[in-house]
Amino acid sequence: DQQVKQNSPSLSVQEGRISILNCDYTNSMFDYFLWYKKYPAEGPTFLISISSIKDKNEDGRFTVFLNKSAKHLSLHIVPSQPGDSAVYFCAASGALNTGTASKLTFGTGTRLQVTL
Amino acid sequence: NAGVTQTPKFQVLKTGQSMTLQCAQDMNHNSMYWYRQDPGMGLRLIYYSASEGTTDKGEVPNGYNVSRLNKREFSLRLESAAPSQTSVYFCASGVRPSPFSNQPQHFGDGTRLSIL
């Protein structure tokens, strides 16, 4: 049972436009959400995170939105750049006061291609 | 500024052979993790070590053993390799979650393991 879902395997966006990557989750106990970026033959690199007490977190060109009622989060990249072309993984972990706080559950990834 | 270092980067084994994957981190993190990534799937947690001296099973522990050698090093052992264990293995480390906050995990570049 896939608890974190990224339903779009790929996305193509023109340089300078907005990229929106989506992620849905089913486990209401998830408390902390992260986005990782992965280039081929490299490990995932942390991009941005959000705690369940917030609905938005921004870091430069990257913004993550969390809609707890819909169990949905999204990553916005504005403006998109060719160097953003990579696979993006959504991940989630449990509440801080539980043993699941350090266990990450990953989605299957979305391959973003930013074209010139 | 190495972060998380994994060795080897590539390995080919025959069914039934044994193998130890090594991981070391220089960020003074308490927690360390082993994941595997298979095509079309996200990363899945194999084992983790919340702190030196402790290890716990993750989502897919069967066929693996781990050793937390010291604070820096966390190894993953395949005692009798099977073709189903062909995968890319990632080690990660992180600050142990506190009752008040969580922090992202940091990943190595992976070990690509093929079992014939």
**For B45, which of A36, A101, A103 is closest by C-beta distance?**
A103
Q: Which of A18-22, A29-33, B61-65 has the lowest mean pLDDT?
A: A29-33
CB pairs under 8 A between A and B: 69
pLDDT of residue A13: 98
- Tell whether the model's pLDDT for residue A66 goes beyond 80: yes
Return residues 65-84 of B near A (CB < 8 Å). Answer: none
Q: Which residues of chain B have pLDDT under 70?
A: 1
pLDDT of residue B27: 94
pLDDT of residue B96: 78
B31-53 per-position pLDDT tens digit: 999 999 998 888 999 999 988 88
Output DSSP code: residue A82. G
pLDDT of residue B1: 60
- DSSP collapsed to 3 states, chain B: CCCEEEECCEEEECCCCCEEEEEEECCCCCEEEEEEECCCCCEEEEEEECCCCCCEECCCCCCEEEEECCCCEEEEEECCCCHHHCEEEEEEEECCCCCCCCCCCEECCCEEEEEC
Question: Which residues in chain A are closer than 8 Å to B43, comparing Cβ atoms?
Answer: 44, 89, 91, 104, 106
**For B107, which of A31, A43, A49 is closest by C-beta distance?**
A43
Output DSSP code: residue A39. -
The phi, psi pair for A109, rounded to 5°, reads 95, 150
pLDDT of residue B92: 96
With pLDDT > 90 as the criterion, what percentage of chain A qualifies? 86
Return residues 26-45 of B near A (CB < 8 Å). Answer: 31, 33, 35, 40-45
The minimum CA-CA distance between A104 and chain B, rounded to whole Å, is: 7
Q: What is the mean pLDDT of chain A?
A: 94
If pLDDT is split at 50, 70 and 90, which confidence band does A102 have? confident
Residues in a beta bridge with B13: B115
A36 vs A49: CA distance, rounded Å: 9
Q: Which residue has the tokens 């991940």?
A: A91
pLDDT of residue A2: 83
Q: Which tokens belong to A23?
A: 């992620």
pLDDT of residue B35: 97
Asked if B99 and A97 come within 8 Å (Cβ–Cβ), the reply is yes
Residue of B nearest to A40 (CA): B109
- Given a contact cutoff of 8 angstroms between Cβ atoms, the answer to whether B52 and B114 are in contact is no
Output DSSP code: residue A9. S
Torsion angle in degrees (nearest 10) through CA of A42, A72, A62, A2: 0
Cβ–Cβ contact B108 with A under 8 A: yes
Residue of A nearest to B108 (CA): A43
Cβ–Cβ contact A26 with B under 8 A: no
Q: Which tokens belong to B7?
A: 């060795």
Asked if A96 and B100 come within 8 Å (Cβ–Cβ), the reply is yes
A72-99 per-position pLDDT tens digit: 999 999 999 999 999 999 999 987 777 6
Name A67's Cβ contacts closer than 8 Å, sequence gap at least 6.
Answer: A55, A73
Q: Which tokens belong to A1?
A: 């049972």
Name B48's Cβ contacts closer than 8 Å, sequence gap at least 6.
Answer: A102, A103, B31, B32, B33, B34, B55, B56, B58
pLDDT of residue B101: 74
pLDDT of residue B97: 77
